[in-house]
């Protein structure tokens, strides 16, 4: 059932409503392949083109150029109601005049299935999504999380080729968001449906995706598994957008790097030529901090206790400001502002930006 | 821009039903709205096939036409002014002040909107005419004449002040009373608060209400025909007389064009200039706060004013009811059923005709209104704004002009429709669909578009989406569109009077004929019948729309 989604050279230009001559390039030369059964996240700040891309896949927007393929079928000229790409909307878009059950079977009724089949499919999905007990309720009697489940059930019951999620959890509170994203991921894997998932929440993206597509300004910055985009960001934007990052200037020397006179070897060699100036990404948790000894000396500019970690802003001698996280700070206490300490970057975590 | 239109067309082509629908609606608007108007313009510039400006020259030469224009404009301005004063006070009292019987007073105040166009005119004749109850019987005046400026103005004020009231009610309700509280709080007096805060904020709304009443007054046909009298010519009845009296189509068309100009100007100012300048300081639920800017004596003075207006409205209807059961008003006040007997024996075919026309018009107009609103708000296609403009155009054009346009356009090859049921239905549908469209647009803009996208995403075509999702959600607008179409089909006169025939006649035209031949009792009986039918129909439509959308009433947007 699951199909690959292939996107080739996709562009979308909007003419801005105020001045028809000016155009906004919302999606620029996007190439992407989603393997059958995979869940791929489109991640980026608001206005990066991720929702436009998803809406083009659903058929609600017309690409300016490029191809959208489900399997080997080109979908560009297929109307949205014939694409078999069920979508879960950010606002849920539940039909307010229909009961939960009628919402779920809305699409099945249009397929004119035999009544018994329809009932069986609906019952199964209501069961899976835990809505059986409230199937006769009206949507305005449901909580946000329950409405979210109705939207999900309504999409999944169609057994679509492709499942599309447009920031489905952004209207839920933090706790519920965590539960729901686990449920969505489990359901998607159990049913083996190819899924595209739009979000601006990097934690959400990393926790549920097979692969993440990081977008910025309509352009795909990087495509990779969650650990790849985090540990091996392809651009400065990706490093900065996903998690926190210190950008450290360095120089390539004999396959390793030199930072402020200190030499480090690299776990993943860079292809930058010997002697060239580079920028390294150093995550705050990849730095060891000590009162007595280390590679670089530093001064504490700010210290914040956050419970599971302490977050320090340091002025590292000869380099600049670094953010450093120290885990389990309850045990060791905080270094006070102004105190002199030592830091040592973890060699294995040092990553040279290409 | 061109590539834009092409890509819009491509999207349209993917949805053949939508494409066909857009095409059919465009064609219909062209044939039944634009073409008749164009015929009016063309005819007014022609004389026996030759292009000429002669007819317009008459406007300067002939006193009759000059006076008609001046009279129509001065009546319109006067009615606009008085209507706004009454409407503003009523709206202020009924939305802002804590006074008893607000709901009842509201209903009485808007009652004239659903009644046939002659209720106030006939009542005024009953009360102030040559045999009027007040003028002759009570005051003993022998040579008092209600005909002319005063008669038309008073009759129109009672017909159109309720429209100003409704419009200003919306304006006042969208301005938060907390602004007045804020002004009082920083030391303004009540008088200053009104003139520096409330009044300026409502000024665009006042101007808008004035223009709406002005347009209605210009377009009004019934009141002037009954109450203007021969010495006080007005544009709309004069155009009618040129055509039906002297069979002079070009002159009628010329007067129609003269009538259009101020109407369209006022409409354009109201819609495209004022509408953008209205203030809305309440978003979401209006706060229920009573105004503190009037002192108690002023409050009761204003209340008394509203009460007086309501009393006069009630009196007008009471007079009509009494008149319908009175032998000969002014001479013989014996109760009788003779007028109703006349209606049911001689005039019953007209009642059936009117009902058939209204019943055919209502659903067509209601559904077309929702369809056009849906297309305009939710779809992109080339010529969308032209469609919106075309569909509301006939709303801005006085009925007399539309009527003249229809006889000019559909009397002859290629489309011959005069004297048929079809022409009346088409005229009503395209004249009264704009109200449905406008309320449909307003409601649709509040509904999350992804609800419709979700339906499409689940496999529903455009038409299925409209039928199963959009229509139930816009039921309130659908309801008001249906009611408006029905009420207007039952009460219309200005365009319809050109289109009726022996085969298909209307009750309103009958009322006019009866007034013309002095049988006010029969006219009153017809009026009561119209009002009863309208009330029953509103109930039926309400029940029908509720049934159609059983679940919707549980949902609040």
Asked if B470 and B455 sit in the same domain, the reply is yes
Same domain, A263 and A228: no
Question: B327 and B341: one domain?
Answer: no
Cβ of B1 under 8 Å from any chain A Cβ? yes
Residue A232 has pLDDT above 50, yes or no: yes
Say whether A41 sits in a helix, a strand or coil: strand
Q: Is the peptide bond before A232 cis (omega within 30 degrees of 0)?
A: no
Q: Please write the tens of the pLDDT for every residue from B473-532.
A: 888 788 888 888 898 889 888 888 999 888 898 999 988 888 888 888 999 999 999 989
For A80, A142, B376, B435, B505, the CA distances from B384, given in Å and listed in that order, are 21, 38, 6, 18, 36
Instruction: Give the pLDDT mean for A232-238.
Output: 94
One domain, residues A112 and A159:
yes
Residues B387, B520, single domain; the answer is yes
Residue B188 pLDDT > 90: no
Beta strands in B31-87 (DSSP E): 46-47, 50-51
Q: Do the domain assignments include residue B50?
A: no
Could you tell me if B235 and B132 are in contact, meaning their C-beta atoms sit under 8 angstroms apart? no
In this structure, the answer to whether residues A286 and A228 fall within a common structural domain is no
Of B299, B331, B363, the residue that ends a domain is: B331
Band of residue B16 on the pLDDT scale cut at 50, 70, 90: confident
What range defines the domain where residue A282 resides? 244-352
Domain boundary among A207, A238, A269: A238
A140-167 pLDDT, tens digit each:
889 888 998 999 999 999 989 999 999 9
Rounded to whole angstroms, how far apart are CA atoms A93 and A100?
12
Question: Total structural domains in chain B?
Answer: 2
Q: Does residue A173 carry a pLDDT above 60?
A: yes
- Give B346's pLDDT tier (boundaries 50, 70, 90): confident
Interface residues of chain A, partner chain B, Cβ below 8 Å: 15, 20-21, 58-60, 62, 64, 77-83, 85-87, 89-91, 93-99, 106-107, 110-111, 138-140, 151, 154-155, 158
Same domain for B370 and B316, yes or no, is no
- CA–CA separation, A76 vs A84, rounded Å? 13
pLDDT above 80: residue B350: yes
Domain that holds residue B552: 1-42+337-557
Q: Are residues A62 and A204 in the same domain?
A: yes
Q: Where is the domain boundary, A184, A206, A238?
A: A238
CA distance B2 to chain A (A): 11
Domain presence at residue B179: yes
Q: Can you tell me the distance from the alpha carbon of A10 to that of B30, in angstroms, rounded to the nearest whole number?
A: 40
**What pLDDT was estimated at residue B143?**
75
- Does the structure show a pLDDT above 90 at A179? no
Instruction: Indicate whether B141 pLDDT > 80.
Output: no
% of chain B residues with pLDDT over 70: 94
- pLDDT tens, position by position, B240-271: 988 888 888 888 899 999 999 988 888 888 87
What are the tens digits of pLDDT across the range B378-421? 887 888 888 888 877 877 889 899 999 999 999 887 888 888 89
Residue ending a domain, choose from A219, A238, A257: A238
Q: Do A97 and B11 count as a contact with CB atoms less than 8 A apart?
A: no
Average pLDDT estimate for A50-66: 92
Cα separation, B349 vs B357, whole angstroms: 12
State yes or no: pLDDT of B15 exceeds 50. yes
| Model confidence pLDDT, tens digit, residues B435-479 | 888 888 888 888 888 899 999 999 998 888 888 888 888 887 888
What integer pLDDT is reported at residue A10 of this predicted model?
Answer: 94
Domain assignment present for B15 = yes
Instruction: Please tell me whether residue A119 adopts helix, strand or coil conformation.
Output: helix
Nearest to A81 among B459, B469, B552 (CB): B459
Q: Do B555 and A90 touch (CB under 8 A)?
A: no
What is d(CA B413, CA B61) in angstroms, rounded to the nearest whole number?
A: 35
The verdict on B321 and B374 lying in the same domain is: no
Residue B300: is its pLDDT beyond 80? Answer: yes
Are A177 and A89 within one domain?
yes
Predicted confidence (pLDDT) at residue A124 exceeds the cutoff of 50:
yes
Look at residue B5 and tell me whether its pLDDT is greater than 60. yes
Give the chain B residue whose CA is nearest to the CA of A58.
B457
Q: How many domains does chain A have?
A: 2
Whether residues A169 and A189 share a domain: the answer is yes
Contacts of A201 (CB under 8 A, 6+ apart): A169, A170, A177
Per-residue model confidence (pLDDT) at position B1? 44
- Within this chain, do residues B373 and B227 fall inside the same structural domain, yes or no? no
Phi then psi for residue A123, to 5 deg, are: -60, -40
Report the mean per-residue pLDDT for chain A: 90
Residue B478: how many other CB atoms lie within 10 Å: 26
The answer to whether B5 faces chain A, any CB pair under 8 Å, is: no
What whole-number percentage of chain B has pLDDT above 90? 31
pLDDT for the residue numbered B417: 83
Contact state of A110 with B450 under an 8 Å Cβ cutoff: no
Going through B76-199 in order, the beta strands assigned E by DSSP cover none
pLDDT at B285: 46
Which residue, B281, B301, B331, sits at the end of a domain? B331
Asked whether B407 and B239 are in contact (CB, 8 A), the reply is no
Judge: A96–B555 Cβ closer than 8 Å, yes or no: yes
Strand pairing category for B46-47 and A219-224: unpaired
Query: Do A341 and A291 contact (CB within 8 A), yes or no?
Result: yes
The answer, yes or no, to whether residue A95 has pLDDT greater than 50, is yes
Looking at the structure, tell me whether residues A83 and A186 fall in a common domain. yes
CB contact under 8 A, B457 and A86: yes
A70 Cβ contact partners less than 8 Å away, ≥ 6 residues apart? A3, A4, A5, A83, A84, A85, A161, A162
Among residues B297, B331, B365, the one where a domain terminates is: B331
In a domain, B296, yes or no: yes
Torsion angle, CA of B146/B148/B154/B157, rounded to 10 degrees?
160
Q: Within a domain: residue B59?
A: no
- Cα separation, B453 vs A270, whole angstroms: 47
pLDDT band for B555, please (50, 70, 90 cuts).
Answer: very low
Among candidate residues A292, A340, A279, A293, the one with its CA nearest the CA of residue A312: A340
Domain shared by B325 and B395, yes or no: no
Res. A230: pLDDT tops 80: yes
Structure confidence at residue B517 (pLDDT)? 87
Answer yes or no: is B473 within a domain: yes
Which strand (E) or helix (H) includes residue A252?
Answer: strand A246-253
Q: What is the dihedral of CA B488, B490, B495, B499, to 10 degrees?
A: 150
Same domain, B325 and B343: no
Confidence band of A5 (pLDDT split at 50, 70, 90): very high
At B60-79, the pLDDT tens digits run: 888 888 899 999 999 999 99
Asked if the model's pLDDT at residue A75 lies above 60, the reply is yes
Q: B444, B459, B472, B555: best mutation site toward chain A, by most A Cβ within 10 Å?
A: B459
| Structure-model confidence comparison of residues B179 and B369, the more confident one | B369
Beta-carbon-side half-sphere exposure of residue B512 (alpha carbons within 13 Å): 22
For residue B47, tell me if it sits in a domain.
no
Closest chain A residue to B469, measured at CA = A95
Together in a domain, B523 and B421: yes
Is there a single domain that holds both residue A206 and residue A107? yes
Q: With 90 as the cut, is the pLDDT of residue A249 above it?
A: yes
pLDDT band at B179 (very low <50, low <70, confident <90, very high): confident
A263 & A222 share domain: no
CA atoms of A301 and A1, how far apart (whole Å) = 57
Q: Is there a single domain that holds both residue A214 and residue A312? A: no
Predicted confidence at residue B556, as pLDDT, reads 30
Q: What is the mean pLDDT of residues B211-218?
A: 91
Question: Chain B: residue nearest A99 by CA?
Answer: B551
As a whole number of angstroms, the distance between CA B292 and CA B295 comes to 7
Cα distance from N-terminal residue to C-terminal residue, chain A: 39
* Residue B3 in this model has a pLDDT that exceeds 60: no
- Say if the Cβ atoms of A94 and B451 lie within 8 Å: yes
CATH of the domain at B315: 1.10.3720.10
Instruction: pLDDT band for B6, please (50, 70, 90 cuts).
Output: low
Pairing of strands A194-199, A39-43: parallel
Report if residue B376 sits inside a domain. Answer: yes
Confidence of residue A214 (pLDDT cuts 50, 70, 90): very high
CATH code at position A249: 2.40.50.140
Report the CATH number at residue A103: 3.40.50.300
Task: Specify the pLDDT at position A188.
Answer: 92
Is B472 in CB contact (< 8 Å) with chain A?
yes
B473/A87 touch (CB, cutoff 8 Å), yes or no = no
B472/A97 Cβ within 8 A: yes
- Residue B249 and residue B140 share a domain: yes
Predicted confidence (pLDDT) at residue A28 exceeds the cutoff of 50: yes
Do A160 and A16 meet the contact criterion of CB atoms below 8 Å apart? no
* pLDDT band of B286, cuts 50, 70, 90: very low
Beta strands in B233-369 (DSSP E): 326-328, 332-335
Indicate if A38 and A137 belong to the same structural domain: yes
Q: B28 burial class (0-12, 13-18, 19+ CB within 10 angstroms)?
A: middle
With cut-offs at 50, 70 and 90, classify the pLDDT of residue A333: confident
Confidence (pLDDT) at A14: 84
Contact of B474 with B443, CB cutoff 8 Å: yes
Report residue B288's pLDDT band, with 50, 70 and 90 as the boundaries: low
- Give yes or no: residues B229 and B248 share one domain: yes
Indicate the SS3 state at residue B333: strand
Residues A125 and A212 in one domain: yes
**What is the overall mean pLDDT for chain B?**
85
Q: Are residues B5 and B138 in the same domain?
A: no
Confidence of residue A17 (pLDDT cuts 50, 70, 90): low
């Amino acid at each position: 059932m699951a199909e690959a989604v292939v996107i080739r050279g996709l562009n979308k230009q909007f003419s801005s409503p105020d001045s028809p001559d000016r155009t906004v390039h919302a999606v620029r030369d996007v190439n992407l392949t989603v393997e059958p059964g995979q869940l791929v996240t489109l991640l980026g700040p608001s206005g990066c083109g991720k929702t436009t891309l998803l809406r083009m896949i659903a058929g609600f927007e017309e690409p300016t150029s490029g191809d959208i393929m489900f399997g080997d079928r080109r979908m560009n000229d297929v109307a949205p109601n014939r694409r078999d790409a069920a979508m879960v909307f950010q606002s849920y878009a539940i039909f307010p005049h229909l009961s939960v059950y009628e919402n779920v079977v809305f699409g099945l009724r249009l397929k004119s299935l035999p009544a018994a089949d329809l009932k069986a499919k609906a019952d199964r999905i209501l069961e899976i999504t835990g809505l059986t007990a409230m199937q006769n309720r009206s949507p305005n009697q449901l909580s946000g999380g329950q409405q979210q489940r109705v939207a999900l059930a309504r999409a999944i019951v169609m057994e679509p080729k492709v499942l599309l999620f447009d920031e489905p959890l952004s209207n839920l509170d933090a706790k519920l968001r965590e539960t729901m994203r686990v449920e969505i991921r489990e359901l998607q894997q159990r049913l083996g449906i190819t899924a595209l998932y739009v979000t601006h929440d990097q934690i959400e993206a990393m926790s549920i995706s097979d692969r993440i597509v990081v977008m910025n300004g309509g352009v795909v910055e990087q495509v990779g598994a969650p650990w790849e985009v985090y540990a091996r960001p392809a651009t400065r934007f990706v490093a900065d957008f996903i998690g926190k990052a210190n950008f450290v200037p360095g120089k390539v020397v004999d396959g390793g790097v030199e930072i402020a006179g200190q030499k480090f070897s690299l776990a993943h060699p860079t292809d930058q030529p010997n002697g060239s100036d580079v920028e390294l990404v150093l995550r705050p948790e990849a730095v060891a901090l000590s009162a007595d000894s280390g590679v670089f000396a530093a001064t504490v500019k700010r210290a914040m206790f956050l419970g599971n970690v302490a977050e320090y802003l340091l002025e590292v001698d000869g380099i600049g400001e670094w953010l450093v996280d120290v885990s389990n700070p309850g045990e060791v206490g905080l270094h006070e502002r102004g105190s002199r300490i030592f830091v040592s970057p973890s060699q294995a975590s040092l990553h040279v930006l290409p | 821009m061109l590539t834009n239109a092409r890509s819009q067309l491509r999207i349209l082509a993917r949805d053949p039903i939508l494409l066909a629908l857009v095409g059919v609606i465009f064609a219909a608007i062209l044939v039944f709205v634009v073409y008749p108007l164009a015929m009016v313009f063309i005819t007014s510039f022609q004389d026996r096939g030759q292009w000429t400006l002669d007819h317009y020259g008459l406007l300067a030469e002939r006193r009759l036409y000059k006076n008609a224009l001046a009279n129509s404009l001065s009546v319109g301005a006067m009615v606009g002014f008085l209507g706004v004063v009454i409407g503003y006070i009523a709206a202020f009292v009924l939305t802002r002040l804590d006074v008893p019987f607000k709901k009842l007073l509201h209903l009485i105040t808007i009652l004239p909107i659903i009644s046939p166009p002659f209720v106030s005119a006939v009542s005024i004749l009953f009360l102030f005419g040559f045999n009027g109850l007040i003028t002759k019987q009570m005051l003993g005046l022998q040579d008092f004449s209600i005909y002319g400026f005063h008669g038309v103005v008073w009759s129109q004020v009672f017909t159109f002040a309720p429209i100003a009231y409704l419009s200003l009610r919306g304006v006042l309700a969208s301005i938060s009373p907390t602004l007045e509280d804020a002004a009082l709080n920083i030391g303004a007096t009540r008088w200053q608060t009104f003139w520096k805060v409330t009044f300026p904020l409502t000024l665009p709304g006042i101007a808008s209400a004035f223009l709406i009443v002005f347009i209605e007054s210009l377009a009004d046909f019934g009141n002037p025909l009954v109450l203007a009298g021969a010495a006080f010519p007005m544009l709309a009845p004069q155009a009618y007389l040129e055509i039906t009296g002297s069979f002079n189509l070009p002159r009628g068309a010329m007067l129609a064009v003269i009538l259009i100009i101020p109407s369209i100007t006022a409409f354009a100012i109201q819609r495209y200039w004022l509408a953008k300048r209205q203030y809305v300081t309440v978003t979401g639920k209006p706060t229920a706060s009573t105004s503190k800017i009037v002192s108690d004596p002023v409050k009761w003075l204003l209340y008394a004013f509203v009460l007086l207006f309501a009393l006069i409205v009630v009196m007008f209807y009471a007079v009509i009811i009494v008149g319908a059961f009175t032998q000969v008003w002014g001479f013989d006040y014996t109760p009788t059923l003779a007028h109703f007997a006349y209606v049911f024996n001689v005039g019953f075919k007209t009642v059936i005709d009117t009902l058939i026309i209204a019943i055919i018009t209502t659903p067509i107009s209601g559904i077309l209104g929702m369809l056009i609103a849906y297309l305009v708000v939710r779809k992109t296609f080339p010529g969308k704004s032209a469609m919106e403009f075309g569909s509301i155009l006939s709303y801005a054009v006085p009925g007399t002009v539309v009527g003249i346009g229809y006889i000019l356009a559909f009397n002859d090859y290629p489309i011959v429709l005069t004297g048929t049921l079809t022409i009346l239905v088409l005229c009503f549908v395209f004249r009264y669909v704009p109200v449905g469209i406008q309320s449909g647009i307003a409601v649709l803009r509040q509904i999350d578009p992804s609800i419709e996208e979700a339906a499409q995403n689940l496999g529903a075509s455009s038409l299925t989406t409209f039928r199963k999702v959009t229509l139930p959600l816009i039921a309130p607008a659908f309801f008001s569109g249906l009611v408006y179409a029905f009420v207007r089909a039952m009460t219309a006169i200005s365009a319809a009077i050109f289109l009726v025939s022996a085969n298909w006649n209307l009750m309103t035209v009958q009322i006019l004929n009866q007034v013309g031949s002095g049988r006010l009792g029969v006219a009153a009986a017809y009026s009561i019948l119209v009002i009863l039918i309208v009330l029953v129909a509103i109930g039926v439509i309400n029940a029908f729309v509720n049934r159609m959308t059983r679940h919707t009433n549980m949902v609040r947007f």
